[in-house]
Amino acid sequence: MASRKLIGYIIILIILAVLAIVFGHLFSILKGKGLITSTAVTTINSTTKKQNTTTSNIIYAGTCGSLFLYEGESANNIVRYKCSWTGGNVGIWSASGISTTDRVEITGQNGQTYFNHTYNYSCLTFLNSVNLTSQNYTITFSTNGNKGSCQNPHQILSINTTTTPSTQNKYNFVFNGNFSTGTYAGWAVNTVAFGNVPQNINAANNEICFKDFPWRGLYNTEYYASTGVCSNIQFSGNLTSSYFNATYPYLNFQIVSPNNKTDYIEILYQNNTPAIIASYNTYAGPLSGEPYTFQNASIPLLSIKDKIVRLRIVSAIYGIQPTIPTRERPLTDFIAISGIRMSQIPWQTENITATLITK
């Protein structure tokens, strides 16, 4: 019986040895013909890692026809964005701000460089108009040094379909006029009246003193600057915008304000003297029963057309109001504003009262 088992084991070993010889011979044949390679998996993994490393610092930014990069006041910085374009001309605009020099480079997915320009201009500058073919692009925006001469310290790159140079190298818009950055970037904040950041309308409406008196009517943004908070202590202070070129005939905005001598808006010349002073009473007119509803207002800019100016929002009230704001009795003496932009046409709400003083 034991001898039979031994013979069985010997037979199994012989069969396994034969199979090993056959498969080894077959593997050599396939390898010799290039059908098997021992390095295929290693090569694929190596390539994948290299691609991930190359693209890890690129941010996708949508279409090249409406690319807006805001780099704040951080000089000596390099950022890369990827955008797509269906083909055609785009205008390249930059504000070097606090940087001594900036560089803009546009490289196509095909490896071709379509734009590469180093400059030391100040404020808003039209760099060039360039025709971009239909493909994806990588935009490199580099800033260097901190001795730029622009009174607006903010570094901006804008690529859009506007291909006509501006007449003056200044911002041709009110920067961060709707406070949609969620910050006061581009604004000088004086004292605590307007807080450290703009208010968010959704968060404000969840505060107890505004639950039954919600803010309404805010257009195209969730943020606004205001001295109206859930407190009976009213602080004074002001907000002052970056410099801009008054190239349009009207400055439009949304506002909530009583018509008094303490809450008003100023347009300032470069020497900080007032060019226009405006105050509004949004408690009048068709929405008089809704004191927390933003209403449209306009300031004519024809008297200062093409002048370099700034906008200042002023609240001169200071002290304790006679009643503590509660759910039944919210704050009434305050100013709130947002959506500030220039326009060819006015859009002031009918029947609200305004007082304008032109210096």
Residues 56-73 pLDDT 10s: 356 666 889 888 777 767
Is 97's pLDDT higher than 50?
yes
Q: Which of 298, 335, 224, 313 is nearest to 268 (CA)?
A: 313
DSSP state of 293: B
Q: Over the stretch 219-232, which tens digit does the pLDDT of each residue have? A: 889 999 998 877 76
**pLDDT value at residue 339:** 94
269-293 average pLDDT score:
81
pLDDT for position 270: 86
- C-alpha distances (whole Å) from 27 to each of 30, 33, 42 are 5, 10, 20
The alpha-helical segments, DSSP class H, found in 33-148 are 40-55
Q: Quick one: what percent of the chain has pLDDT higher than 90? A: 25
Cα separations in angstroms, 237 against 151, 194, 225, 336 = 22, 7, 12, 13
Q: Residue 42: which region, alpha, beta or left (left: phi > 0; alpha: psi -120 to 50)?
A: alpha
Q: How far apart are CA 278 and CA 281, in angstroms?
A: 11
Q: Which residue has the higher pLDDT, 234 or 265?
A: 265
pTM: 0.61
- pLDDT tens digits, one per residue of 45-55: 222 222 222 23
Q: Are 305 and 282 in contact (CB under 8 A)?
A: no
| CATH 2.60.120.380 holds for 58-160 | yes
Task: In whole angstroms, give the CA distance from residue 238 to residue 264.
Answer: 10
Q: When comparing pLDDT for 1 and 205, which is higher?
A: 205
Write the burial class of residue 43 (CB in 10 Å: 0-12 exposed, 13-18 middle, 19+ buried).
Answer: exposed
How confident is the prediction for the chain on average, in pLDDT? 76
Say what percent of the chain tops pLDDT 70.
70
The per-residue pLDDT for range 111-161, each reduced to its tens digit, is 999 999 888 766 667 788 899 999 999 999 888 888 876 766 777 888 888
* Pairwise CA distance, residues 328 & 230, whole Å: 12
Write down the residue that tokens 């029947």 correspond to: 351
Model confidence at 2: pLDDT above 90: no
Contact between 139 and 67 under an 8 Å Cβ cutoff? The reply is yes
Lowest mean pLDDT among 136-145, 163-172, 191-200, 226-235: 163-172
pLDDT classification of 259: cutoffs 50, 70, 90: low
Model confidence band, residue 35 (pLDDT cutoffs 50, 70, 90): very low
Is the distance from CB of 174 to CB of 247 less than 8 angstroms? no
Q: In whole angstroms, what is the distance from residue 283 CA to residue 82 CA?
A: 47
User: Which of 166-180, 202-216, 301-315, 325-339 has maximum average pLDDT?
Assistant: 301-315
CATH architecture of 188-358: Sandwich (2.60)
Any idea which of 13-27, 77-91, 106-120, 139-153 has the lowest mean pLDDT?
13-27
Which pair of tokens denotes residue 73? 């006041």
